[in-house]
Copies of this chain bind each other. A is one copy, B any other.
Amino acid sequence: MPALIDSTIQKYQACIDACIKCMQACEECLSSCLKEPDVAARTQCITMMRDCIDICALSAQWMSRGSDHAAQLCQLCATICDACATHCATYQDTHCKQCAEQCKQCAEECRKMSA
């Protein structure tokens, strides 16, 4: 990441990075889940990951712009990341375990950020 100009934004960098990693892990996991033979057993998790991707991407943008509402969005992001982590952790695939881990870390950073 580039050196940041504004210290108000700089303090969010750890959370921005966690959101981006989580977005990417969910996108990869979702694509991989769609190719698994038991995809029919994963549809609830797929739906959950779609929400998680959207809110992680938006949270990263709002923190980057120093939005007044970033903390509130990150609070909801934490809730969704937690739910997504719980879902993903029930599967044994590497992509699911990795996704669950990124979701957990993102939830933690979002909670710290919005505290």
Which residues, 67 to 115 on A, are CB-close (under 8 Å) to B? Answer: 67-69, 72-73, 76, 79-80, 94-95, 98, 102
Q: What 0/1 readout, one digit per residue, does chain A (41-83) give for beta carbons within 8 Å of chain B? A: 0010011101101110110111011111100110010011000
How far is B25's CA from A32's CA once the two chains are assembled, in angstroms? 24
Residues of B with C-beta under 8 A to A51: 62, 67-69
| A16 contacts partner chain B, Cβ-Cβ < 8 Å | yes
How far is B3's CA from A28's CA once the two chains are assembled, in angstroms? 11
Residues of B with C-beta under 8 A to A3: 98
With A6-B32, A31-B47, A39-B40 as given contacts, are A61 and B54 in contact (CB-CB < 8 Å)?
yes
Q: Across the interface, do A64 and B98 meet the contact criterion of CB distance under 8 Å? A: no
